[in-house]
Amino acid sequence: MSLMRRTFLLTAGATLAAARVAHAQDEAPRGPYSMLDRPAPDFSVPLHGGGSRNLEDFRGRVLILAFGGLWCPPCISDGANINELAGLAVQSEIEFLYLHCGPEFGLWTQHGNRRPRVADAESAWNLYFIENHYNFPVAFDLSRRRDIARDYNIRWFPSFIVIDRIGRIRAWRTALGRNGARAFISVAREAAGETI
């Protein structure tokens, strides 16, 4: 095979692969999520900035619960889209909470090898928000097993779910990609009973 033909085939293959990745990021995943239409498991988590939140705090309102962390490269690359989703949720009077799952903080870590504390998580998220000009509500599950993500059967990060007013899981998707925030907020509005 000639060098020119090999180069063409490699370039065409790389372009096709990139197009598939870009397309996949704009669609909700097609894989199954076993928790749809089930009651959302309760949780109680410390909140960035102080206080705590639990599922009962959101009763009677629609909640978008996002799972990810500063240790997760796809979560970081989806950061602007997550920030957009949080802003759209506020405009739509839908609650939004990002759950940092696990004790690692990626590039923003400052705790070394000791067991992380909420203060470490606060510091890491402060740096991340300052560096990226983001601002959305974050809570922490610092367990090594990522207990809350496990309770929600989350196997992909980031993942986003919609919990309706009575506490049932109505929708799920992974990475938002370029247009995913607007698509997912529409799903959340439907759960809220709004006209789209």
Domains of the chain with bracketed CATH? 31-192 (3.40.30.10)
pLDDT higher than 90, residue 189: yes
pLDDT higher than 90, residue 68: yes
Residue 190: CA atoms inside 13 Å, Cβ hemisphere, count?
Answer: 10
Q: Output 21 or 106, whichever has higher pLDDT.
A: 106
Q: Output 120 or 72, whichever has higher pLDDT.
A: 72
Q: For residue 67, count CB atoms less than 10 angstroms from its CB and return exposed for 0-12, middle for 13-18, buried for 19 or more.
A: buried
pLDDT of residue 19: 35
**pTM of the predicted model, to two decimals?**
0.80
pLDDT higher than 80, residue 114: no
The rounded distance, in Å, linking the Cα atoms of 161 and 167 is: 12
Q: How confident is the model at residue 24 (pLDDT cuts 50, 70, 90)?
A: very low
pLDDT higher than 80, residue 194: no
Name which of 5-14, 43-52, 57-66, 119-128 the model is least confident about: 5-14
pLDDT of residue 106: 86
pLDDT higher than 70, residue 82: yes
